[in-house]
Amino acid sequence: MTQYDYIVIGAGSAGCVVANRLTQDSKTTVLLLEAGNPDTKPEIQIPSECINLPGTEVDWGYFSEPEPYLNNRKMFCPRGKVLGGCSSINFLLYARGNHHDYDHWQELGNPGWSYLDVLPYFKKSENQQRGASEYHSVDGELSVTDVISPAVASQRFVDACVAMGYNHNPDFNGMQQEGAGPYQFTIKDGKRHSAAAAFLVPILKRPNLTTITGALVTRLLFEGTCTVGVEYLHDNQLHQARINSEVILSAGAFNSPKLLMLSGIGDAKHLQALGISVVVDLPGVGQNLQDHVCVFLPYQATQDLQPAINGTGISETGLFLHSEGNLDAAPDLQFFFGPILWAPPGYAGSGPGFIGTVSLTHPQNIGSVSLRSPDAKDAPILRMNYLQSQSDVQKLVAGIKLMRKLFDTSAFDEFRGEEVAPGADVTSDEALVAYIRETCSTMFHPVGTCKMGIDPMAVVDPELRVYGVEGLRVVDASIMPTLTTGNTNAPTIMIGEKAADLIKAADRVSQQALSAIAN
* Residue numbers annotated as active site: 445
Beta-bridge partner residues of 248: 8, 473
What is the torsional sign of CA 274, 280, 284, 285? negative
Strand 2-9 versus strand 237-249 pairing type: parallel
SS3 433: helix
SS3 124: helix
* CA pair distance 392, 68, nearest whole angstrom: 15
Beta-bridge partner residues of 237: 234
* CA pair distance 505, 410, nearest whole angstrom: 57
DSSP secondary structure of 303-329: S-----TTS-SS-SEEEEE-TT--TTS
Which of 42, 1, 46, 36 is closest to 15 using CA atoms? Answer: 36
* CA pair distance 386, 291, nearest whole angstrom: 8
Which of 62, 57, 92 is closest to 77 using CA atoms? Answer: 62
How far is residue 174 from each of residues 93, 136, 151, 244, 262, measured CA to CA in Å?
Answer: 15, 8, 24, 41, 41
- Angle between the 390-407 and 152-163 helix axes, to the nearest 10 degrees? 110
Kindly give, in sequence order, each residue whose CB lies less than 8 Å from that of residue 235, ignoring residues fewer than 6 positions away.
214
